[in-house]
Structure 1
Amino acid sequence: MLCERCGKNPATVSYMEEINGNKVGYNLCEKCYSEFFGSFNSSVDNDILAGLIGQSPRKRIRSCPVCGASYSDFERTGLLGCAACYDVFKEELMPYIERIQGKVVHVGKKGQNLHEQELTRSLSKLQEELERAVRERRYPDAERINTRIRAVRTKIKQIRGEKDE
């Protein structure tokens, strides 16, 4: 989606304004957003300025550029509108995610044991190769495979926190 002001850059900032009860949405690039709001750093500054020049303060509501959902929608329903909402409301969502899940980094269904599981599979394959090499009397190959098996077993023990014997 392109910026609605310049039409050149990707729209990375999406927000809604409520003016006299009417909601108006904007999708702007960062450059146009900063130009649109000037050098003021917060909505409080903009509201103060609006009051000084006789306009009613505008209530800015940030919303998702993809589905239009606002953070207040999430607070009300507990549901996000789409996958893009996670990026749009990332700062607000992180404390909730961390409190509920304990971490904010996804480690997958298998989690931290994944590396150990891969090594275990590798160990099984190496043991099969070793048996095949011995059956076929390829003893130099069997010795190389056996060395690799010992190395994989050492790595598995390190992951498990076991001492090497």
Structure 2
Amino acid sequence: MKCEHCHERSATLHFTQYTHGYKHGQHLCHTCASDLGLIEANDHYLIHDLLSDLVKMNSALANNQRRSSAQEIKICPTCHMTYTQFVKHYKFGCKDCYETFTSELEPVLKRVHNGNTAHVGKVPKHRHPHISKQQQIKTYRDQLKSCIESEQFEEAAELRDMIKALEQGESIAEEDE
């Protein structure tokens, strides 16, 4: 399939966008996607890495099944899918499967995503500073909550001040617009 933007190179990426309830798909080559700001220029993901991790996951599952035949098998309470069924089809049955099988998925996701287990996503370049600041505030608030629960009030006060400074800087930037 050819790139829908340049009509020269093969389309290697598919982007889906939902606008006002309508789905719009676009097939692009890596170069055009980079030029349009949809991905970073040096953002490559090798399918070989994904496939090798899936094979490793499958063989690890087989080894675990042999070792733990007497152990209780996890089943999603909503859709009743087992982890074995997921490995067979590589699709979960519902949103609750992610929570049910977190312990099995975390090592695989770390390998596939270079050690990251939280999705932070891609942000258009013109929105990056604003969203990055909001993510930082959220991270500080999570740390603040943890500090308060563990009664580390000095650290909590520092985090509170950092949050306040970020929020004030954000409102100043919005007033300039």
TM-score when normalising by structure 1: 0.33
